[in-house]
């Protein structure tokens, strides 16, 4: 019989084994708790329960756990855990009950730092807060609002301001990845593109930078996010508090209108260049600018048509939903405006020639994006 001499064992071995046992035990308790208790509650709170029919369909594809909303990974569109989430999950697990006080302390610190204009730890603080409270869309949107609105104004250089707003977009993008069904986050993203980058005081600079960086109009990107917010809102009712449903839903239509205006501006600028070149006797340049203007005119007509259709669809939808009359009036007014501009531009397209451009140009007006 073999006798083990426990006295010869290194003293740390027992401690190590005990530590491992505690960690495994914790995981064994916490993981099912999160999967079977916390996650279903979270899904229910966020309105992510699927309809019975859809659940049956999903059950046939992914199994009953996924269909009942208790599995995060399998249901399409649900936040899938990625390797980069590992530290966040580990820290959340390790902190346990101390997560609350720690987050409160972080909130106090980042707000204090923001007021004192101390920036070196700010993004880190925001990331930590969002990591520990990633299930709350309001946390993401509030911090992104700080990054996009309150911090850029603490700097004078436009480039630096733009970089802060880009940070806000990246940050909120991460929020969207963690909460893909939150219409609140999607609409906030649309707001950053439309209001901050598209229509703020410094928008001229930002619009140019967005076109360089993303290769598209800022209003088109804003439209995509607002449209996503509309679809998420319809399906999950996850708009959150803030703007009312009709007001939020028409932001997508507004973004399309701004996009159409932007294209019309570009058309106007191309024709202005052509007229100027004609007056200077540079015929080749004038023709080139005219052709570019015509191209922009076609794009503008399409964009205005798109905006008109979107306004019309939303008007019909809210007429059915019987919202307040003054809200409906707004939809109708902007819809009429889009239809009129579409008509005017289509007429212009039919009548405009290189020869009559100087005369026609006198009647043109460069639209303002207000």
Pairwise CA distance, residues 1 & 259, whole Å = 86
Q: Site for another protein (CB under 8 A): which residue of 95, 123, 330, 364? A: 123
Is there binding between residue 167 and another protein (CB under 8 A)? yes
Least distance to another protein from the beta carbon of 12, Å? 8
The packing angle between helices 283-321 and 245-280, to 10°, is: 170
Stretch in the footprint of another protein (CB under 8 A) among 67-75, 124-132, 241-249, 315-323: 124-132
User: What gap in Å lies between CA 318 and CA 140, rounded to an integer?
Assistant: 29
Taking the complex as a whole, how short is the minimal distance between the CB of residue 191 and another protein, in angstroms?
A: 19
89 touching another protein, by CB under 8 A = no
What 8-state DSSP symbol labels residue 365?
Answer: -
> Total residues at the site for another protein (CB under 8 A)?
28
**Residue 116, interface with another protein (CB under 8 A)?**
yes
Among candidate residues 129, 238, 257, 111, the one with its CA nearest the CA of residue 187: 238
Q: Cα–Cα distance between 283 and 278 in angstroms, integer?
A: 6
Among 20, 118, 279, 280, binds another protein (CB under 8 A): 118
Q: If we measure between CA atoms, which residue out of 190, 279, 286, 173 comes closest to residue 233?
A: 190
The piece of 44-52, 54-62, 149-157, 320-328 that touches another protein (CB under 8 A) is 149-157
DSSP 148: I
CB 315 within 8 A of CB 328: yes
Kindly state the smallest distance separating residue 196's Cβ from another protein, in Å.
12
Residue 354 found at the interface with another protein (CB under 8 A): no
Residue range at the interface with another protein (CB under 8 A); choices 155-163, 221-229, 258-266, 338-346: 155-163
Residue 175, judged by CB atoms within 10 A of its CB (0-12, 13-18, 19+), counts as: buried
Rg (the chain; Cα; Å): 28
How far apart are CB 170 and another protein at their closest, in Å? 9
Q: Could you say whether residue 90 binds another protein (CB under 8 A)? A: no
Please state, in angstroms and rounded to a whole number, the distance separating the CA atoms of residues 99 and 103: 6
The residue within the footprint of another protein, chosen from 21, 41, 81, 121 (CB under 8 A), is: 121
Position 338 contacts another protein (CB under 8 A): no
* Separation of alpha carbons 69 and 43, rounded Å: 7
- Report if residue 96 touches another protein, rule: CB under 8 A: no
Interface with another protein, residue 204, by CB under 8 A: yes
149 binds another protein (CB under 8 A): no
Q: How far is the CB of 174 from another protein (least distance, A)?
A: 10
Angle at 160 between CA 260 and CA 191, to 5 degrees: 35
Least distance in Å: CB of 73 to another protein?
Answer: 24
Task: By CB under 8 A, name the binding residues for another protein.
Answer: 87, 113, 116-124, 127-128, 153-159, 163-164, 167, 200-202, 204-205
């Amino acid at each position: 019989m073999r006798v083990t001499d426990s006295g010869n064992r290194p003293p740390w071995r027992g401690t190590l084994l005990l530590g491992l046992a505690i960690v495994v035990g914790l995981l064994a308790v916490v993981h099912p708790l999160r999967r079977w208790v916390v996650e279903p509650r979270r899904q229910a709170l966020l309105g992510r329960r699927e309809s019975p029919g859809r659940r049956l369909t999903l059950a046939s594809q992914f199994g009953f756990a996924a269909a009942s909303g208790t599995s995060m990974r399998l249901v399409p569109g649900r936040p899938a855990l990625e390797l980069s989430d590992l530290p966040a999950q580990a820290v959340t697990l390790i902190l346990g009950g101390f997560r609350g006080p720690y987050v409160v302390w972080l909130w106090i610190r980042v707000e204090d730092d923001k007021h004192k204009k101390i920036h070196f730890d700010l993004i880190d603080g925001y990331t930590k807060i969002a990591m520990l409270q990633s299930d709350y869309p309001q946390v993401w949107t509030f911090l992104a609002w700080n990054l996009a609105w309150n911090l850029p104004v603490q700097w004078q250089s436009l480039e630096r301001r733009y970089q802060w707003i880009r940070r806000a977009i990246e940050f909120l993008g991460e929020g969207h990845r963690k909460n893909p069904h939150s219409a609140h986050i999607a609409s906030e993203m649309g707001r950053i593109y439309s209001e901050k980058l598209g229509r703020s005081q410094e928008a001229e600079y930002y619009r140019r930078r967005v076109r360089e960086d993303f290769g598209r109009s800022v209003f088109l990107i804003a439209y995509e996010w607002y449209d996503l917010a509309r679809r998420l809102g319809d399906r999950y009712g996850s708009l959150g508090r803030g703007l009312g449903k009709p007001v939020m839903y028409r932001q997508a239509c507004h973004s399309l209108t701004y996009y159409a205006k932007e294209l019309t501006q570009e058309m106007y600028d191309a024709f202005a260049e052509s007229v100027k070149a004609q007056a200077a006797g540079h015929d080749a340049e004038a023709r080139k600018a005219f052709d570019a203007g015509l191209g922009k005119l076609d794009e503008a007509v399409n964009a205005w048509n798109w905006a008109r259709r979107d306004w019309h669809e939303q008007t019909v939808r809210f007429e059915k939903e019987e919202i307040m009359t003054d809200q409906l009036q707004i939809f109708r007014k902007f819809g009429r405006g889009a239809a009129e501009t579409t008509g005017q531009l289509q007429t212009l397209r039919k009548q405009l020639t290189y020869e009559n451009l100087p005369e026609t140009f006198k009647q043109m007006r460069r639209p303002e994006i207000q």
